[in-house]
Amino acid sequence: MPDRYPGYDVLAKRHTPSWNETTRRVIDQRLAIPREPRFFTEDEWLTLNAVCDRIVPQPASRPPIPVVAMVDDKMIHNKTDGYRNAKLPKMQDAWRRGLRALDEAARTRHGGRFHTISATEQDSLLAKMQRGELDNVAWGDMPCKLFFGERLTHDIVAAYYSHPTSWNEIGFGGPASPRGYVRMGFDRHDPWEPAEAGRHAG
Amino acid sequence: MGQTRNSELGALELGALGLGALGLGALGLVALGVLGALAARGPRASGSNARAATSTPRPAASSWPGLSLPSTHGRSCVDGRVKPGHDGGTPSVKAARRLNTAAGLLATSVLADSAVEHYRGSFNNRAMYTPLVTAALTLAISGHGVGDKRPGAHILRDITYLLAGLTGLAGTGFHFYNVGKRPGGFSWLNLFYGSPLGAPFALLLSGVLGFTAERVRENKPGVTPRIFGLPAGRAMAALTALGMLGTVGEAGLLHFRGAYQNPAMFLPITVPPIASGLLANVAMGSRDTNRWFTRWWLRLTALLGLAGVGFHTYGVSRAMGGWRNWSQNVLDGPPLPAPPSFTGLALAGLAALGLLRDHPDA
pLDDT in tens, A3-39: 899 889 999 999 999 999 999 999 999 999 999 999 9
Q: For residue B77, give the 3-state DSSP assignment.
A: coil
Are B82 and B339 contacting, i.e. CB atoms less than 8 angstroms apart? no
Query: Residue B79: what pLDDT?
Result: 41
| pLDDT tens profile A52-100 | 999 999 999 999 999 999 999 999 999 999 999 999 999 999 999 999 9
Say whether B122 and A15 touch across the interface (CB within 8 A): no
Say whether B120 and A183 touch across the interface (CB within 8 A): yes
Q: For residue B231, give the 3-state DSSP assignment.
A: strand
Which has the closest alpha carbon to B138: B112, B162, B170, B117? B162
The alpha carbon torsion through A105, A134, A48, A99 (nearest 10 deg) reads -80
Query: Residue B85: what pLDDT?
Result: 42
Say whether B122 and A188 touch across the interface (CB within 8 A): yes
For B226, list phi and psi in degrees, rounded to 5. -135, 155
List of residues 6+ apart from B196 with CB closer than 8 A:
B117, B175, B250, B254
Stretch A101-107: mean pLDDT: 97
List of residues 6+ apart from B224 with CB closer than 8 A:
B231, B232, B359, B361, B362
Round to the nearest angstrom and report the end-to-end CA distance of chain B: 69
pLDDT class of A200 with cuts at 50, 70, 90: low
Question: How far is B348 from B236, CA to CA, in rounded Å?
Answer: 7
How confident is the prediction for chain A on average, in pLDDT? 94
Q: Which of A14, A178, A183 sits opposite B321 (nearest CB)?
A: A178
Q: How far is CA B245 from CA A146, A159, B103, B170, B251, in A?
A: 62, 55, 17, 20, 10
Of A192-201, B6-15, B132-141, which gets the smallest average pLDDT? B6-15
Strands of B135-214, DSSP E = none
Of A130-134, A184-188, B3-7, B190-194, which gets the smallest average pLDDT? B3-7
Question: How far is B278 from B345, CA to CA, in rounded Å?
Answer: 13
Q: For residue B170, give the 3-state DSSP assignment.
A: helix
pLDDT tops 80 at residue B237: yes
pLDDT tops 60 at residue B313: yes
Query: Residue B88: what pLDDT?
Result: 67
Instruction: Report chain A's C-alpha Rg in angstroms.
Output: 19
Query: Residue B4: what pLDDT?
Result: 35
Question: How far is B339 from B62, CA to CA, in rounded Å?
Answer: 24
Say whether B321 and A183 touch across the interface (CB within 8 A): no
Query: Residue B222: what pLDDT?
Result: 82
Residues of B whose CB is below 8 A from A179: 321, 325, 327-328
Question: How far is B285 from B251, CA to CA, in rounded Å?
Answer: 28
Stretch B226-242: mean pLDDT: 93
Long-range contacts of B269-272 (CB under 8 A, 24+ apart): B271/B297, B271/B300, B271/B301, B271/B304, B272/B244, B272/B247, B272/B248, B272/B301, B272/B304, B272/B342, B272/B345, B272/B346
Residues of B whose CB is below 8 A from A182: 120, 328, 331-332
Residues of B whose CB is below 8 A from A190: 327-328
pLDDT tops 60 at residue B75: no
Stretch B327-344: mean pLDDT: 95
Query: Residue A93: what pLDDT?
Result: 98
Question: How far is A171 from A174, CA to CA, in rounded Å?
Answer: 9
* Antiparallel, parallel or unpaired: β B230-231 and B226-227: antiparallel
Question: How far is B276 from B253, CA to CA, in rounded Å?
Answer: 18
Residue B231, beta-bridge partner list: B226
Residue B65 or residue B322, greater confidence: B322
| pLDDT tens profile B134-162 | 999 999 999 999 999 999 999 999 999 99
Question: How far is B327 from B120, CA to CA, in rounded Å?
Answer: 10
DSSP letter assigned to residue B227: E
Residues of B whose CB is below 8 A from A20: 321
pLDDT tops 50 at residue B6: no
pLDDT class of A184 with cuts at 50, 70, 90: confident
In what helix (H) or strand (E) does residue B230 lie, and over which residues does it extend?
Answer: strand B230-231
Residues shown for chain A: 202
Stretch A138-166: mean pLDDT: 97
Q: How far is CA B226 from CA A44, B217, B295, B359, B362, in A?
A: 93, 10, 22, 11, 7
Say whether B6 and A177 touch across the interface (CB within 8 A): no
Is there a cis peptide before residue A17, judged by omega within 30 degrees of 0? no
Q: Which of A15, A179, A181 sits opposite B6 (nearest CB)?
A: A15
Q: Which of A15, A21, A182 sits opposite B9 (nearest CB)?
A: A15
Query: Residue B336: what pLDDT?
Result: 96
Are A171 and A177 contacting, i.e. CB atoms less than 8 angstroms apart? no
How confident is the prediction for chain B on average, in pLDDT? 81
- Chain A nearest C-alpha distance from B324 (Å): 6
Question: How far is A146 from B300, CA to CA, in rounded Å?
Answer: 68
Q: Taking the model in full, what pTM does it have? A: 0.76
Query: Residue A2: what pLDDT?
Result: 73
Which has the closest alpha carbon to B268: B345, B172, B348, B354? B345
Q: How many CB pairs under 8 A join A and B?
A: 44
Q: How far is CA B46 from CA B41, B43, B54, B89, B147, in A?
A: 9, 5, 11, 20, 16
Residue B226, beta-bridge partner list: B231
Are B65 and B347 contacting, i.e. CB atoms less than 8 angstroms apart? yes
List of residues 6+ apart from A57 with CB closer than 8 A:
none
pLDDT tops 70 at residue A147: yes
- Chain A nearest C-alpha distance from B25 (Å): 24
| pLDDT tens profile B258-307 | 999 999 999 999 999 999 999 999 999 988 788 999 999 999 999 999 99
List of residues 6+ apart from A73 with CB closer than 8 A:
A33, A38, A39, A79
Residues of B whose CB is below 8 A from A15: 2, 5-6, 9
pLDDT class of A188 with cuts at 50, 70, 90: confident
Are B97 and B88 contacting, i.e. CB atoms less than 8 angstroms apart? yes
Question: How far is B43 from B163, CA to CA, in rounded Å?
Answer: 25
Q: How far is CA B40 from CA B81, B108, B144, B212, in A?
A: 21, 21, 8, 20
Query: Residue B72: what pLDDT?
Result: 37
Query: Residue A3: what pLDDT?
Result: 84
Query: Residue A38: what pLDDT?
Result: 97
Of A53-57, A129-133, B50-54, which gets the smallest average pLDDT? B50-54
Query: Residue B310: what pLDDT?
Result: 98
Say whether A15 and B5 touch across the interface (CB within 8 A): yes
Question: How far is B251 from B199, CA to CA, in rounded Å?
Answer: 10
pLDDT tops 80 at residue B33: no
Question: How far is B295 from B66, CA to CA, in rounded Å?
Answer: 9
| pLDDT tens profile B157-176 | 999 999 999 999 999 999 99
Query: Residue B352: what pLDDT?
Result: 95
Stretch B184-213: mean pLDDT: 93
Residues of B with a Cβ under 8 Å from any A Cβ are 2-3, 5-6, 9-10, 13, 120-122, 124, 320-321, 324-328, 331-332
Residues of B whose CB is below 8 A from A188: 122, 124
Say whether A179 and B325 touch across the interface (CB within 8 A): yes
| pLDDT tens profile B80-128 | 444 444 566 889 999 999 999 999 999 999 999 999 999 999 998 999 9
CB of A131 within 8 Å of a chain B CB? The answer is no
Q: Taking a contact as any Cβ pair under 8 Å apart, which residues of chain A between 18 and 77 contact chain B? A: 20-21, 24
pLDDT class of B23 with cuts at 50, 70, 90: very low
CB of A87 within 8 Å of a chain B CB? The answer is no
Query: Residue A54: what pLDDT?
Result: 98
Question: How far is B195 from B247, CA to CA, in rounded Å?
Answer: 15
Are A49 and A68 contacting, i.e. CB atoms less than 8 angstroms apart? yes
Of A64-73, B52-61, B239-248, B296-305, which gets the smallest average pLDDT? B52-61
Are A18 and A174 contacting, i.e. CB atoms less than 8 angstroms apart? yes
Query: Residue B288: what pLDDT?
Result: 79
pLDDT tops 60 at residue A137: yes
The sign of the CA dihedral B108, B113, B116, B118 is negative
